[in-house]
Structure 1
Amino acid sequence: MKSCWLISIITLAPLAFATDYNDGIPPNNDFKWMNLNLMYAYKEQPRPKNTPNDGHDYLELEFGGRSGILDLYGYVDVFNLTNRDNSDKKGQPKMFMKFAPRLSLKDLFKNLPWGPVTDIYFATLFNWGGGGATNYNENDVGIPSEDTNNSFWGIGSDIQVPWFGKMGLNLYGLYDLNKKDWNGLQISTNWFTPFYTFDNGSFLSYQGYIDYQFGAKDTFAGNPQAKHGGAMFNGLYWHFDKFALGYGLKLYSDIYLVKNNTNNMKSSGASHYFAVTYKF
């Protein structure tokens, strides 16, 4: 794990000299945004087959932007806001955070863009809290006392794709900070694609992501797991000024490397998400 921090330092050193913003004028590609999302998730996975409740509400603060060489995305979720007894998050940890900083290496490659590739990054991703989807005992039963504490390290890019526009594409190695060990690879992509604009200026967008893990062994830290698996989120959203309404269909296959139908756990199939968004 120490090698990851060393790579970070080595990566940052030349970039600090290659990028000069001392004139006080922000780079023209700098931006920032923040959304407040009120969400409801129906049959989110993985989940025990015999759970008596099917869904939960949550509040999400989502943010992102670009400042110089730093590209950032993240969100914080707070589950079961009114502590309802019929929520499938009842008695579970209240919060989860995803934090995904990427450091641009563009200034090291003077001949960018390379065709559809417009930027290259040293990419990282951190998942914290939420009850530990990757933490299961030898019977594939969740360990509620141990939260997720995962880190991902790799190479990322921005690419231009016909119709989709700009997409992020990242390849990571997964290092489990709880188990202090590497656990395979993950490829991730994301997109935000407006595809129809109404006369009043509102528009429809197709937005989502794919996270797919592979290259894992069939056991990790002494526990059985799938060798590959992931999820795809397909969102259809209507945007108007500072508001948005959305529906998302999320498809799973052995999500978080939890084997489907093992010890009463369901980790493959579909779930549904509903969102009301306010944009800052």
Structure 2
Amino acid sequence: MKRAFIISALLTAQLSAFSTTNIQYLYGNFEGPTFLDTQSGNKQTVTIEHYRTFEYGDLFTFADYVHAPKGLRFTDKKNDLYGEFSPRLSLNKIADIAPSEGLVKEWYTAFQYNGSSTYHAWLYGIGSDLNIPGFSVFGLNLYRKIQDVGIDTYQLSANYYVPLGERWHFEGFSDWTTRDFLSQNQLLFDLAPNIGISKGKLEIGTEWHYYHENSYHSDNDVFQAMIKYVW
């Protein structure tokens, strides 16, 4: 799917009230055999995420800046930048159909662009928001994935958020393709009330990062320390 079409669709839609942005710092020891690992084990990541709704859908986008002091696993690069841009158009809102109280709350057409200096992928498909007990958010998207490195494939993506009392929550995402599986899940504590700032603005915790590549049976299994500021 051409990026120009996606951007045009977003710019012609009236933005609504809700949006949120955060910045994260993560530190972990990546010593495995995958392309996500490093030559020394040490890796630091700064992530900026943004989510907003608009009149006919929603948008999630993020950028990761990675620093590996002795280089990434298969290159001498010490720094890397990667991002994703993921808009969805709500079929319910376009057809003026109220969200359902059943399992599938809302249907979407879903698009995504993934990019770095050495890799580009374009994804298109169908998405949904589900009503799952215990989850305040559960999204599921099925894409056709066209990429310039490796063979084209399909991707099933899930994103979720679970409140765990007043100050704890669990959130994350998982991506399955015919070639690999990636899951990043965060357990976070709301530190903001302890230092006198607004609730939910500052969180600390850990991220479990798991990656499996099917062809080489290689795994990347890392817990990272993290801090997150929201505005």
Provide the secondary structure at the position in 2 that maps to 1:169. strand
Distance 2:79 2:23 in 1: 20
Bigger proportion of residues as strand: 2
Cα shift at 1:211:
0.5
The answer on whether the counterparts of 2:121 and 2:146 sit within 8 Å (CA) in structure 1 is yes
The answer on whether the counterparts of 1:77 and 1:96 sit within 8 Å (CA) in structure 2 is yes
Question: Relative to 1, partners in 2 of residues 1:164 and 1:93: Cα closer, same or farther, differing over 3 Å?
Answer: same
Residue ranges of structure 2 left out of the alignment (5+ in a row)? 193-198
**Which residue of the partner structure matches residue 196 of structure 1?**
165
What's the C-alpha RMSD, in Å, of the aligned pairs? 3.2
Q: Does 1:209 align with 2:170?
A: no
Distance 2:145 2:36 in 1: 28
The answer on whether the counterparts of 1:84 and 1:90 sit within 8 Å (CA) in structure 2 is no
Cα shift at 1:68:
0.9
Q: Does 1:84 align with 2:83?
A: no
Distance 2:114 2:107 in 1: 22
Within the candidate set 167, 176, 179, 2:138 is matched to 167
Structure number with larger C-alpha Rg? 1
Q: Does 1:229 align with 2:216?
A: no
Give the TM-score of the pair, scaled to structure 1.
0.67
Provide the aligned length of Structure 1 versus Structure 2: 218
The answer on whether the counterparts of 2:70 and 2:78 sit within 8 Å (CA) in structure 1 is no
Give the TM-score of the pair, scaled to structure 2.
0.80
Residue ranges of structure 1 left out of the alignment (5+ in a row)? 132-146, 198-202, 215-227, 262-266
**Which residue of the partner structure matches residue 260 of structure 1?**
216
Cα shift at 1:44:
7.2
Cα shift at 1:153:
0.5
**Which residue of the partner structure matches residue 121 of structure 2?**
150
Cα deviation, 1:193-232, whole Å, max 9, x if unaligned, reads 11121xxxxx101111110002xxxxxxxxxxxxx32122
Question: Relative to 1, partners in 2 of residues 1:112 and 1:35: Cα closer, same or farther, differing over 3 Å?
Answer: closer
Distance 1:79 1:188 in 2: 23
- Among all aligned residue pairs of Structure 1 and Structure 2, give the percentage whose two residues are the same amino acid: 22
